[in-house]
Amino acid sequence: MSHTLYRKYRPQQFADIHGQVGIITTLKNQLVSGRTAHAYLFAGTRGTGKTTTARVLAKAVNCHTRAAGMFEPCGQCPSCTDITAGRSIDVIELDAATHTGVDTVREEIIENSRVLPTRDRCKIFIIDEVHMLSTSSFNALLKSLEEPPAHVIYILATTELHKIPATVASRCQRFIFQPLALSVMQEKLRAIAAAENVTVADSVVQKILAVSGGAMRDAESLLGQLLALHADTITDEVAAALLPPSSFSETIEFINRLHASDAVACFTLVAELFESGTDLVAFHDALLRRAHELMVCGATGVVPRYLGIFSDDETQQLLGATRALPAAWLGRLIAQLVEKRSLYKTIASPFLPLHLVIATTIEAAPAQRPPETKQQTPTPVAPPPRVEPNSVTTISREIIERFWPQAVQAIVTEQPSLGIVLAATAITDVRDNQIVLSVRFPMHRERLIDLKLKTRIEARLSELCGATVTYVAEYDPDLMSHDPNVAAALDTFGGRVVA
């Protein structure tokens, strides 16, 4: 029977477990001295080796040929082979995620623990995802943990240590499994590829490590999918069929545009990513990683190894981008990304979380002020010409377009966040002193028809033009195609406008 890579290459001895030196050393010493604990609590993120270590510990405790003073299981005796195959009657594995009720704990654990081992030295219970047990289940288990039979060992594994009751955790020896170092993961992936007689490009290994998020099991699963392509050499072109495309350059560009308060470019990039089939949740997570990397690189001046494995080009992009991105601003961006991340679970729109990040980050940005200079005698400047009140009754489009930039500047000075909306607004018609304003996004129209904002803009325009001016706002997704320059480019090169 064939197995997935993470099962085929699962460590079977302590020597095969990497990245958890302190934990393995402690367990070895306990085995050598014969002073194993009655209950262990293994905690850590997924794919760090908790269940694997529990099984190796169970094999070492029950190994029939392990001599005194030794710690490694033989791997050949009936007990070792049965545990490896998952059929040992004295090592009971229970998935608490699917067996949360108190009845299961009483029948499978408490009642079973009272029976002596059938063949081996100890009866060992490995309870995975133990934090999923109900409160009553924990209470039922508490007595057994407090006064366990001499022949019983409990090994509890969890990815969420904070959910374990203090009364349970205090009765166990706690071991915190750390995420594996990238160098350790890289070495193991290369060893697996060599054992499978496949050559994997360095860049592909780096992509696997980046996607796996530090979980060895996830990295091995991804490598297994690539090996299923039956290619002797896994290159970037081959891996592109399964691995998501790199969004490194896109995230750097997005953050730079966000810092420049270029809302139109940011909204457009999100739309283009969606139309190209990019998972916006994955892009959101990539933005969060990139902002963190940029903040650390800006503070240290280098790219620390623990952040990940980067190509020379990516390293240069990170260091280059940090020169223009203040750490405090990146910190605020990270806070926005973290806050909006949970919205994907509660709303149907895949756009809204990123759109909110754009709007709130740009609105929170301080207004740009010119540098202070020494006081000088001001040079008299002639005021801009304006139409005297009541000097005209009907306002032409030429006059409106003449004073529109001044009205926009006055409004944006009072409220900088409105620059996003007004910069993307176009005057498409003037009828009887009523302006027709067109926008490309529905959210911009909603902002323009807000009564308070509408009153302010109309009052400013009326003051500048010397007559009463009103406006209506219309949503026009094809607004850019009306621009003569854009129309000429479309006629020349072909294509279409992407909203």
The string of pLDDT tens digits covering residues 122-154 is 999 999 999 998 888 898 888 888 888 899 999
Q: Does one domain contain both 194 and 47? A: no
Q: Does one domain contain both 108 and 166? A: yes
Q: Does one domain contain both 292 and 192? A: no
Q: Does one domain contain both 170 and 233? A: no
CA angle (386 as vertex; 383, 389 as ends), nearest 5: 130
Domain membership of residue 275 as a residue range: 248-364
CB 5 within 8 A of CB 227: yes
Residue 377 lies in a domain: no
**How confident is residue 208, by pLDDT bands cut at 50, 70 and 90?**
confident
Specify the pLDDT at position 489. 56
Amino acid (one-letter) located at 282:
A
Q: Does one domain contain both 48 and 162? A: yes
Return the SS3 of 425: coil
**How confident is residue 161, by pLDDT bands cut at 50, 70 and 90?**
very high
Specify the pLDDT at position 25. 94
Residue 494 lies in a domain: no
Q: Does one domain contain both 75 and 134? A: yes
Residue 490 lies in a domain: no
Q: Does one domain contain both 24 and 172? A: yes
Give the domain CATH number at 77. Answer: 3.40.50.300
Q: What share of the chain is helix, strand, coil (3-state, %, to 5)?
A: 55, 10, 35
The string of pLDDT tens digits covering residues 332-391 is 999 999 999 988 888 888 889 999 999 988 865 544 444 454 455 555 555 545 444 444
Residue 383 lies in a domain: no
Return the SS3 of 197: coil
- Token digits of residue 387: 């139409």
* 207-236 core/surface letters (b: 16 or more CB in 10 A; e: else): bbbbebebbbbbbbbbbbbbbeeebeebee
- C-alpha 437/C-alpha 338 separation (Å) is 36
Q: Does one domain contain both 432 and 301? A: no
CB 186 within 8 A of CB 203: no
The string of pLDDT tens digits covering residues 191-203 is 999 988 888 888 8
Return the SS3 of 265: helix
**How confident is residue 479, by pLDDT bands cut at 50, 70 and 90?**
low
Give the domain CATH number at 192. Answer: 1.10.8
The string of pLDDT tens digits covering residues 70-86 is 899 998 999 999 999 98
Specify the pLDDT at position 318. 84
Count other Cβ atoms within 10 Å, centred on residue 482: 13
Residue that terminates a domain, selected from 145, 177, 209: 177
Q: Does one domain contain both 28 and 131? A: yes
Q: What's the domain count of the chain?
A: 4
| Full DSSP string of 461-492 | HHHHHTS--EEEEEE-TTGGGGSHHHHHHHHH
Q: Does one domain contain both 151 and 189? A: no
Q: Does one domain contain both 334 and 443? A: no
Whole-model pTM: value is 0.60
Give the domain CATH number at 348. Answer: 1.20.272.10
Specify the pLDDT at position 458. 85
Residue 277 lies in a domain: yes
Q: Does one domain contain both 413 and 324? A: no
The string of pLDDT tens digits covering residues 297-321 is 888 888 776 676 666 777 888 888 8
Residue 493 lies in a domain: no
Residue 402 lies in a domain: yes
